[in-house]
Structure 1
Amino acid sequence: MNDYTLREISGFPEMLAQHHLIEQLNPDMPKERYHELLRLMLPYNYRMVGAFDASEKCVGLSGFWIAAKFYSGKYLEIDNFVVDAAYRAKGIGKLLTDWLLQLAKHEGCDTVMLDAYVTNTAAHRFYLREGFQIKGFHFLKSVHT
């Protein structure tokens, strides 16, 4: 577990270089769409943290936002949390989660929240083991028909 270095992934080019991981979470996400969405998200303070191996390869990452809502207070939202399939079960997810929780405390957040795809049962087990609770449903409706 100590073989990985965590650091914030800064700047558009370094974030764009992580498409290979985002694609594991979202297999239908072409690089062009990832590029387009990053451009839309960055002005709203979207940030990323990565876990890097000894060769400086990013093997896990999480995007995150810090904001506030009435029901949660100030929060850190984990977004696009993924560990490379070849590196799973090595403690990288725990390292990333611990880093994000420490940042949330440092930033004065009241809560940490996330969405997990309904079909991602491995993620559900991980987050429940890490002390997260299922609070509700996240509804989504496309405006394009």
Structure 2
Amino acid sequence: MNRTATPAYTLREIAGLPAMLAQYPLIRQLNPLLDLERYEELLRIMLPQNYRMVGAFSESGTCVGLSGFWIAAKFYSGKYLEVDNFVVEEAHRSAGVGKLLSDWMLQLASQEGCHTIMLDAYVTNSAAHRFYFREGFHIKSYHFFKTLTP
């Protein structure tokens, strides 16, 4: 799915490990403790599980916003698109980039026959919470997390 979103941004899928690795500086804005080696290691695990990524590119060709996503199914949600690591470059926030990415994924989810879109947002990221509420998302459940040590 390629389309020009506005005169300032073009949205397109970011396909393949090298192209996704090139987005590390933007991913790191959301995950500051994630080093490049771990990012690559996780991508190598996620890509065979149908992980995909969409980016918003400025007129200069720089990726200024992106989101990873999967399409899968669960009993409680049916077929869904799961948003993962949604981030917009700080200098481009409040310029409509997040809305463009969200709308792109909504359109893709509809085309793919998904029943829902879901995501996790860090509990400390109140700006993201406001954005998702404004986009029509609601809180359905808690996502419990337990770290295992090797």
TM-score (norm 1): 0.98
- Aligned to 1:62, what secondary structure does the other structure show? strand
Show the counterpart of 2:11.
6
Shift in Å, 1:143: 1.0
Count residues in correspondence.
Answer: 145
Calculate the aligned-residue CA RMSD, in Å: 0.9
Find the aligned partners of 1:120 and 1:135 in 2 and give their Cα distance.
17
State the one-letter code of the partner of 2:137: F
Alignment of 1:122-137 (within 5 A): 122-137=127-142
Find the aligned partners of 1:143 and 1:126 in 2 and give their Cα distance.
32
- Aligned to 1:77, what secondary structure does the other structure show? strand
- The one of 62, 68, 73 aligned to 2:73: 68
Displaced runs of 4 or more, over 6 A = none
- Aligned to 1:66, what secondary structure does the other structure show? strand
Question: Sequence identity, in percent?
Answer: 70
Show the counterpart of 1:32.
37
Show the counterpart of 1:22.
27
- Aligned to 2:122, what secondary structure does the other structure show? coil
Alignment of 1:46-85 (within 5 A): 46-85=51-90
Show the counterpart of 1:114.
119
Gaps of 5+ in 2: none
Gaps of 5+ in 1: none
Shift in Å, 1:38: 0.3
State the one-letter code of the partner of 1:9: I
State the one-letter code of the partner of 1:105: S
TM-score (norm 2): 0.95
